[in-house]
Amino acid sequence: MSAELSERPALHYWDAFWDHRPAECPCDQDFVHWLDDREVRDSAIFHFGTGGHHHVGVECARPDRRNAVLGITAAPQEHDTFVKLAIERPDVLRHYNVSFGDIYLLNRRLLPVFDIVTLFHLCEFRGEKNDAYGAMTDLEVTNLLTDHLRPGGHVLFFPGSYAWDRADNSAKDVVSAWAAERDVEEIGRWRSLLVYRKRGSRTDLLQP
C-alpha cells in the first residue's frame, strides 16, 4: 500500500448493534404508529438509522402498508442483519433497502424524491472523524434531504435523542437553524416525535 493511501482517513462507522428497545428508544415504533394514524400507504420514506431490528422497514413492507423505505446505517453489523433479512424475506426486500455508509457523504445525484424523511439520530454521530474526509454537517444533511422532499411532505425528529439538547452541536439547534433556512412549518409533537411539514401542496401527499 502506498504512503498516500495509508494516510487517507478511514470511514467513521459505528462498531455496535442496536436491537429493538422501544422502552428506551421509542422513535421507530412511534413512527410506524404515526404512519398508521394517518393511514399512510404507498409512500417513499428515507429512514436515518435502521437499527439491527429493521423495525421500520419490516413493518412498512406489510401488505396493508406498502411503504417503500430507503434506510441508511453506519453499523456493519446492522447491515449484515439486513442482508440476512433480504435473503430470508424477499417480500420485505421489495419495499425496503438499506445502504451502509456515512449519511454525511450522501450524494444528491443518487437520491430520489421522498414523501417522508426521518432524522431521529441527527447530531449523534458527527465529529472530528467525519471532518477528516470533508463530510457534510448535520445542517447540510437536513437541508439536502429537505430539498429531496415533495411539497407537503414531512420531516420527523426525535427530541428524546441524547443529542437533542446537549450543550454542543445539539439537534435542537440544528433544527432551529434548518427551519429558518427552509420553507417548512412545525406541526408539533406526536408521542415521542416532532413533526414538520414542507410547505406546498400535492393532493396525494399527507395532510397535517
What was the pLDDT predicted at 202? Answer: 58
For position 103, which CATH number holds?
A: 3.40.50.150
* Average pLDDT over all residues of the chain: 93
In a domain, residue 204? The reply is no
> What integer is the mean pLDDT of 79-108?
98
pLDDT band at 185 (very low <50, low <70, confident <90, very high): very high
Structural domain span for residue 77: 26-198
pLDDT band at 53 (very low <50, low <70, confident <90, very high): very high
What was the pLDDT predicted at 36? Answer: 98
In a domain, residue 74? The reply is yes
What was the pLDDT predicted at 124? Answer: 96
In a domain, residue 2? The reply is no
**HEC string for the chain:** CCHHHHCCCCCCCCCCCCCCCCCCCCHHHHHHHHHHHCCCCCCEEEEECCCCCCHHHHHHCCCCCCCEEEEEECCHHHHHHHHHHHHHCHHHHCCEEEEECCHHHCCHHHCCCEEEEECCCCCCCCCHHHHCCCCCCHHHHHHHHHHCEEEEEEEEECCCCCCCCCCCCCHHHHHHHHHHHCCEEEEEEECCEEEEEECCCCCCCCCC
In a domain, residue 12? The reply is no
> How many domains is the chain partitioned into structurally?
1
